[in-house]
Structure 1
Amino acid sequence: MSQKSRAYNLRADAASIILAVIDQGQSMGTALPKVQQRYRDGRDKGLLAEICYGVMRTLPQLDTQLRRQLQNPLNGKKRIIHCLLMAGLYQLKHTRVASHAVISESVEACRTLRAPGMTGLVNGVLRSMQRNLEALQNEQFEAETVQTMHPSWLLKRLQQAYPQQWPQVVAANNQQPPLWLRANVSQQSRDAYMVKLTEQQIACEAGDSADSLRLLEPMDVTQLPGFETGAVSVQDLSAQRSAELLDCQAGDEVLDVCAAPGGKTCHMLERQPQIAKMIAVDLHGDRLARVQQNLDRIGLNAELVEGDARFPQQWAPGQRFDRILLDAPCSATGVIRRNPDSKWLRRDSDIEQLAQVQAEILQAMWQILKPGGTLLYATCSVLPEENSKQISAFLQQTEDAMLIPIHADEQLDNPGWQILPSTTGGDGFYYARLQKRS
């Protein structure tokens, strides 16, 4: 069935989602699923996601090249046509979709978007870009923000924090994310699961954490052997370090704070089935539904609680815990390749505000950690203000807090383990392990 005979046009939908993100401030995680749910074909869902995420990843370059093609800016009600053209240019430059299909479907999208008067412009601009595609592909950009596809405030922070490594961080941020899996070791070992994949001719390789493996080609994970019964889950390599580092023991009472969507909760329970109590807390009740879905699929149990981590007395009065995983709300600057829209939605001023919230949650969680207990502080950020500087300040202010080094070279003025995003490895992540003196 052709796109024209359907009740929707994929390119029109892509343009609407892109507009909602860059002009209206919606996150891709909110805008995309609302539209995707009316698509039945998984390939259509995948293409829609690829276009939208791809435009966010390469936005400054697409915008710069497109504006040169336009005699007049497309503003106001015509702004959605600008987004449609960026979606078309992305497909021409970065996908295998046939050029004639990109152009014809983009022209048809004008009618879906009730802008039939723009069909000539869209056709002309995209055909011109298709003719000059090689030059567009090889263009070198002068402006650093366009060249790196990162906003200036973030680029400055990365350059200050990592004067040697920042180009590698930027390169990793601009790639499509690798697909990491977590084998459920309560069912079988990682290596045993890899044998099952090999038998089905699914190419994979082991990661350098105990339960991790990476698929070498993208696929529908629901088709993986044993996925529906919890044999394997999608979880980034760096995120899988949480359960290893917290190292829950039989009989422990464990708290997972800011737990949604529940991957780390499940991982801890998989690795230690004899946890005495597992409570997963999140500020947003609707996000706890995702945690429950993950628990149900794998066949695990945890107590789910909606609550503000800064005020545990409201949702855990009188309770104390042996181990606490604090996956603190953060800038998500370590997972930009998974959420490229965050580059354009986040602001420099957000970092100080986030650091304040993190400090408040850390203090609150420390009060409900048992003497001798362990707290693992984690973020998916690469910014020191949220990570090493946060923990260093906490250690200086908290007499009964003791750093338990993850690496031998940790220092009190530079504590914890900062993982930078890697093109072949995991996302950007930070961990610091603290123990409360008895």
Structure 2
Amino acid sequence: MFMTQKLANLGVNQVLAGKNLNDALDLIWRNNPNLSPQQRGAIQDISYGTLRHLGLLNQVLEQLLRAPLHEPELRTLLQVALFQLQFSRAAPYAIVDHAVKVSLHTGTGKAKGLVNGVLRNFLRNKEELIQAAQRTRNGRYSHPEWWIDAMQKAWPSQWESILTCNNQRPPMALRINRRKIGVTDYRALLSEEGIAATPRDENTLLLDHPVAVERLPRFFDGWASVQDPGAQLAARLLDLCDGQRVLDACAAPGGKTGHILELANVDLTALDADSERLSRVRQNLDRLGFDARLIVGDAAQPADWWDGRPFDRILADVPCSASGVVRRHPDIKWLRRPADFANFARQQARIMDALWPLLAKGGKLLYATCSVFPAENAEQAAAFAARHPDAERLGLPESAPANGQLLPTQEHDGFYYALFRKVD
């Protein structure tokens, strides 16, 4: 547990210093190649959990500290240990003991006594401390105050359920590759492996409990992919047919790219500005047994990569705040700043305006985000339609909400979709 706690502390500390959690964990894996799969899983669970509940942990910690604590690594060590004491099944004495040992490598000579005292005081008064912390907004919702205010303004009736959902573990859903097997048959294969799942529709299974992909039958043969049900709407909304020329802009990591090719035999171009991330698209396609034209390029600068041939379908899965997938990426709520949303909106508008001339007459463009904020979604779609008189906004089928906005629930994450057709 000592190494687990030490490295989880390092990961959380790097996030609070401004680093993306995935990048922080990747660095830990590279620097500690001998970690077992169990250790990696524990480090990841503790890091994610601490960040999910950071607001609550901070409010508890403020009650326990007699003076401000200005040593970042020592503060995150206490946050990590408090998370474990409140939310994990590990023995409290072991958590405290290992936190004290980690503290010997952290902070000043007084760190050992501080850590021991704070954590034992929490164990003695846990119920009262948690109740007091939850009487504050930050402690109750574990989001920055400005984020809570923005969510209240955007969704006056649903903001509390959204914030609560953000702090839960995400569901694990499988997209079944119907070119290779049906949902019923794949569910039977899962059952043989002791994995319970519930059909959500003709393409999707929701697992009762998440499992490692290594346990999924024929996963590496492309029979199934891990993809949120909300994300699965994208490829379906494109109205794909064999022979179409399709652009998947901002394609990485390739979940939607693979889904497009599962649904139809199309001439697909997958574009992304990041060559390293684009390699993940190739890996996904190789696993599924598909091929596509992969291009490193900026969606807002098509003159650098477009061959001049129009596309019949364009998926514009644009960069966004990722506010709809916070439970999968809890670092987001602590890394984002209010100004980020305006910056994303400007980037989204540039990409949409740049891609629209690439669409053939009668073709369809799907605008997609994993955000729940109107500035990136409904407002952006309305502004785009106003700028382009030849863009007809199409209604969405019953499988998607009429206004295009999916809010996070127990079954899916938050997404937004707007479908446009270029009129003749």
Q: TM-score, normalising length from structure 2?
A: 0.95
> In the alignment, what sits opposite 1:124?
117
Q: 1:318 aligns with which of 277, 302, 308?
A: 308
User: Contact conserved, 1:12 with 1:113, CA < 8 A, in 2?
Assistant: no
Q: CA RMSD in A?
A: 1.8
- Mapping 1:223-372, distance limit 5 Å: 223-272=215-264, 274-275=265-266, 277-372=267-362
Alignment counterpart, residue 21 of structure 1, candidates 5, 9, 15: 15
C-alpha separation between the residues in 2 aligned to 1:79 and 1:205? 44
Q: For 1:138 and 1:66, how far apart are their aligned partners in 2? A: 13
CA distance in 2, matches of 1:282, 1:105: 44
1:416–1:433 CA contact under 8 A, matched in 2: no
Opposite residue 65 of structure 2, the aligned amino acid is L
Deviation at 1:177, TM superposition (A): 0.7
Once residues 185 and 136 of structure 1 are traced to their aligned partners in structure 2, the CA distance between those partners, rounded to angstroms, is 51
Amino acid at match of 1:216: D
Q: What is residue 134 of structure 1 aligned with on the other side?
A: 127
CA distance in 1: counterparts of 2:74 and 2:273, whole angstroms: 37
Q: Secondary structure at the match of 1:97?
A: coil
CA distance in 2, matches of 1:134, 1:263: 43
Asked whether 1:218 is paired with 2:205, we answer no
> How far apart, in 2, do the equivalents of 1:369 and 1:415 lie?
24
Q: Tell me, in whole angstroms, the C-alpha distance in 2 between the residues paired with 1:316 and 1:222.
A: 38
Which digits, 9 at most, give the CA deviation of each residue in 1:13-51, with x for residues without a partner?
1122111111x2111121112113425311211111111
What residue is the counterpart of 1:426 in the other structure?
412
Asked whether the equivalents of residues 260 and 282 of structure 1 are also in contact (C-alpha less than 8 Å), the reply is yes
Higher mean alpha-carbon deviation, 110-119 vs 257-266, is at 110-119
Unaligned 5+ runs, structure 2: none
Q: Distance in 2 between the 1:73 and 1:289 partners?
A: 45
1:193 corresponds in structure 2 to 186
Question: In structure 1, what is the equivalent of residue 67 of structure 2?
Answer: 72
Q: Which secondary structure state, in structure 1, belongs to the residue aligned with residue 270 of structure 2?
A: strand
Secondary structure, aligned partner of 2:271: strand
Task: Give the direction of change, closer, same or farther, for the CA distance of 1:112–1:218 in structure 2 (3 Å limit).
Answer: farther
| TM-fit CA distance, 1:163 | 1.0
Determine the C-alpha separation between the residues in 1 that align with 2:373 and 2:35.
40
Match of 1:100 in 2: 93
Which residue identity does 1:15 align to in structure 2?
N
2:51 corresponds in structure 1 to 56
- 1:258-305 Cα distance to aligned partner (Å, 9 max, x none): 111000000111121x21x11111111111111111111121111111
Match of 2:146 among 153, 157, 161: 153
Deviation, 1:115, is 5.5
Determine if the alignment matches structure 1 residue 436 to structure 2 residue 387: no
Q: TM-score, normalised by structure 1?
A: 0.92
Give, in angstroms, the shift of residue 136 of structure 1: 3.5
Distance 1:248 1:407 in 2: 14
One-letter amino acid of the counterpart of residue 225, structure 1? P
Quote how far apart the aligned CAs of 1:429 are: 0.3
Q: Match of 1:433, SS? A: strand
Partner of 1:143: 136
Residues of 2 paired with 1:221 and 1:138: CA distance? 38
Determine if contact 1:92/1:133 at 8 Å carries over to the other structure: no
**Partner letter of residue 260 of structure 1?**
A
Following TM superposition, by how much is the alpha carbon of 1:415 offset from its aligned partner in structure 2, in angstroms? 7.7
- Could you tell me which of 371, 392, 406 is aligned with 2:396? 406
Distance 2:365 2:252 in 1: 18
Structure 1 distance, partners of 2:406, 2:234, is 12
How far apart, in 2, do the equivalents of 1:194 and 1:165 lie? Answer: 33
Taking only the aligned residue pairs, the percentage that are identical comes to 40
Change over 3 Å in CA distance of 1:114–1:140 after alignment to 2:
closer
Query: Which runs of 5 or more structure 1 residues have no equivalent in the other structure?
Result: none
Specify whether residues 298 and 40 from structure 1 end up closer, same or farther in structure 2 by C-alpha distance, changes over 3 A only.
farther
SS at match of 2:112: helix
1:374 to 364, 367, 382: 364
2: CA distance, partners of 1:292 / 1:419: 29
Q: Is the 8 A contact 2:63 2:129 kept in 1?
A: no
Give the aligned length: 421
Q: Distance in 1 between matches of 2:278 and 2:343?
A: 24
- Alpha-carbon distance in 1 for matches of 2:191, 2:280: 30
